[in-house]
Amino acid sequence: MSERSIRRVTTHASRAFFLVCVPLAIGCTANLWGDERDDTPSAVAGSTAAGSGATGAGTAGSAGTSPLLHPIAPGPATLPHLTVKQYQNAVRRVFGSSVVIPELEVDNRPEFYAVIGAARQPLTETSISLFWEASKSIAQQVTTEPLLREKLISCPAAPSVDAACIAAFLSGTVVKLLRRPLSEEETEQYTELISSTARGNLWRGLRFGLTALLSSPAFLYRHERTHATSDVPDSVKFDDYALASRLSFLLLNEGPDEELLNRAAAGELADPSQLAAQVGRLYPAATTSGLSEFFHEYLELDAAGLLDFEGDVDEELGAAMREEVILLARDAIAPGADFRRLFTTRETYLNGPLAQLYGVAGPTGNELAPFTLTAGGRRAGLLTTGAFLTAEGAEDRTKPTNRGLYVQFRLMCTQIPDPPEDIPKLEDTGVDPVATSVRAVLELHQREPRCAACHALVDPIGIGMEDFDQFGRYRTTYPDGSLVDARSEWNGVPFSGAAELGELLGNDPRVAVCMTKQLFRYATARLETADGEAPLVEALTNRFADSGYSFRELVGALVSSASFRYAKRQAP
């Protein structure tokens, strides 16, 4: 590594802040694993020892008094607004995919997820005005274009202003939009609006009615109604329409379909077995829609192919990389699949450019096709995908620390404490920063006690993946000809290379705990509460393990849990 590179490494103060020596104040390590300590193998009753790979025999998976059904206290209900994708999905589902949807304010993703941002961050004046403009545009389109009109109403009398037709619109199309029937007051209001703005032409009235409905907080916010219950102390119970909505947004990232609405209308969804049946019905579609979106956000696939912020953007290759991971995830969450294959599988999907990047004689052309990587080869699972390997690199080098951070933050849910304020440059610590390899630079962290504790958590992970460069290519030498040494340790177990690390991660029960937490957060649009819901996460993880890491079972267990069906009672 050149002197200039070293200086860059040692002075980069943002993305590579952990490449800078990160001194630890006394006590930094005390909470290093945060609440993860409670979820380490011992807390996952009967589960596997780290790295053993055997399926655990959970003890808390049964119903009855299990926290699955009755956690001590479910967390609060949230009020997320629709994310941009949910808005787009809703409009396209109800009106058809040819509707042109104008620009909306981009979502932020605190805690990785747009739904959490949507529940935490208020809509701004700009955002609300963009929704209004989008409503006007969409309403205009669907009430003027013949093919789109068909999806609105089926009244033979249109465009005459017919009360029955308006009523059918409000109890049909509008229920799909609002995810529940209108109240009497709402029905009256919208009947009046449509009638009064029709001016003799029903399509015109529908245009203004839809303009309002698509801008209405009743549509834009997922207000999930609750009612009193004595089932769970200090809690309220989501009503059937709320459950339909929660289930549908989790699985499909859009509002409930007709079947779900019908079940809700019949009052059937309060019954957990009915809810479970709906999971079964929707799960196949979920693997390519809502759960696909979950993995897109969870694994930060936006960054695939971008080489961080510094390098060339190859949009097509990046798209192929994203698609590969989405397909790997789809296979890992298929009913009956062991989710851990995500980290270990050699059954992947490539197109021509991706096969070329991977150096395999695989599919040609631009469409991704199934491809089996060589058994025993260096490439297997998520950590060897182009999407992962390019997301955390720079133009001219890998960023091992950042790869390690990705694993700790996203796959392990580790809370690493913030570095203290007075971080010295390596030069200022008396350490000679002139080094000749990435490994040597990272080893400097270990020689500086104030840096070592945090870097010990992340650097070894990154070092162990040095067999892949920043473009996702396998390598045995660095550009200067020196040999790559990807030997490292995970939990005291030696490994060499990203594929072997994937094997260890897949078998690490903490990864399953983290996976459970992430799904919980995506499903509820909030973090799990520290007190009431920690046992639930534990129980869900056990159920996950008991099922042979069936993601389908995890989803089912989560949906049947009290945190999905109940919420903390709020003070009025």
Partner 1 sequence: MTKITRRTLLRGSAAGATVAMGIPLLECMGEGRGHAFAQSLNPVGFGVFFWGGGIPHSKLNDKESTAADAYTPAGAAGISPLAPSALLAPLAASSQWLNVVTGLNTASHQVVQRETHFSGQAIALTGDGVAYIDRSDLLYSYSRPSIDRFVAKYPGFYAQPPRRESVHTCAADRFFKSHSGWNCISMDGKDQPVKPILDPSTLYTNLFGGFTPGAGGAQVRADQKSALDAVIADAHRLQQQLGAEDRQRLERHLDGLRSIERQLDAAPPACTLPTAPADAAAGLLPRFELQAEIIVAALRCDITRIFSMMVTGGAHGYKMDKTGTENGPGSTGNHGALHAGNNDAATGNTLLSFKALQHLLGKLSVEESPTGGKLLDNMLIFATSEYATGWHHQHEEFPVILAGKAGGKLKTGQHVRAPGGNICAVQLAMLQGLGLPIAEWGFGGGETSTPLPGLLA
Site for partner 1 in 128-157 (CB under 8 A): 128-130, 132-133, 136
Rule CB under 8 A: is residue 314 a binding residue for partner 1? no
Indicate the residue among 365 and 420 with the shorter CB distance to partner 1. Answer: 420
Rule CB under 8 A: is residue 106 a binding residue for partner 1? yes
Written as one letter, the residue type at 49 is A
Rule CB under 8 A: is residue 319 a binding residue for partner 1? no
Tally the C-alpha atoms within 13 A of residue 375's C-alpha that lie toward its C-beta: 0
Shortest CB 124 distance to partner 1, Å: 5
User: 224-243: which residues touch partner 1 (CB under 8 A)?
Assistant: 225
Indicate the residue among 127 and 345 with the shorter CB distance to partner 1. Answer: 127
User: 408-467: which residues touch partner 1 (CB under 8 A)?
Assistant: 409-410, 416, 418-421, 423
Q: Is 469 exposed, middle or buried (0-12, 13-18, 19+ CB in 10 A)?
A: middle
Rule CB under 8 A: is residue 37 a binding residue for partner 1? no
Rule CB under 8 A: is residue 315 a binding residue for partner 1? no
Nearest Cα residue to 468 out of 564, 357, 542, 376: 357
Q: Which of 24, 61, 89, 107 touches partner 1 (CB under 8 A)?
A: 107
Q: Which of 167, 285, 313, 440 touches partner 1 (CB under 8 A)?
A: 313
Phi, psi dihedrals of residue 490, rounded to the nearest 5°: -130, 115
Span from 121-129, 323-331, 339-347, 383-391 in contact with partner 1 (CB under 8 A): 121-129
Q: Binding residues for partner 1, how many (CB under 8 A)? A: 79
Separation between Cα atoms, residue 111 and residue 2, nearest integer Å: 37
For 113, residues 6+ apart whose C-beta sits below 8 A from its C-beta are: 297, 298, 521, 522, 525
Rule CB under 8 A: is residue 105 a binding residue for partner 1? yes
Query: Within 415-448, where are the H helices?
Result: 438-447
- Cis geometry, peptide bond prior to residue 181 (ω within 30 degrees of 0): no
Indicate the residue among 8 and 447 with the shorter CB distance to partner 1. Answer: 8
User: 79-98: which residues touch partner 1 (CB under 8 A)?
Assistant: 79
Shortest CB 311 distance to partner 1, Å: 6
Give me the 154-193 binding string for partner 1, x by CB under 8 A, dash otherwise.
Answer: -------------------------------xx--xx--x
Indicate the residue among 350 and 505 with the shorter CB distance to partner 1. Answer: 505
For 330, residues 6+ apart whose C-beta sits below 8 A from its C-beta are: 287, 288, 292
User: 376-395: which residues touch partner 1 (CB under 8 A)?
Assistant: 394-395
Span from 1-9, 32-40, 381-389, 433-441 in contact with partner 1 (CB under 8 A): 1-9
User: 249-308: which residues touch partner 1 (CB under 8 A)?
Assistant: 300, 302
Shortest CB 71 distance to partner 1, Å: 21
Shortest CB 145 distance to partner 1, Å: 17
Shortest CB 456 distance to partner 1, Å: 17
Separation between Cα atoms, residue 57 and residue 535, nearest integer Å: 17
- Crossing angle for the helix pair 290-298 and 240-252, to the nearest 10 degrees: 60
Separation between Cα atoms, residue 544 and residue 538, nearest integer Å: 10
Phi-psi region of 267 (alpha: psi -120 to 50; beta: other; left: phi over 0): left
Shortest CB 168 distance to partner 1, Å: 19
Tally the C-alpha atoms within 13 A of residue 8's C-alpha that lie toward its C-beta: 12
Rule CB under 8 A: is residue 20 a binding residue for partner 1? yes
Rule CB under 8 A: is residue 14 a binding residue for partner 1? yes
Written as one letter, the residue type at 428 is D
Separation between Cα atoms, residue 569 and residue 226, nearest integer Å: 9
Q: Which of 216, 229, 274, 446 touches partner 1 (CB under 8 A)?
A: 216
Separation between Cα atoms, residue 232 and residue 522, nearest integer Å: 23
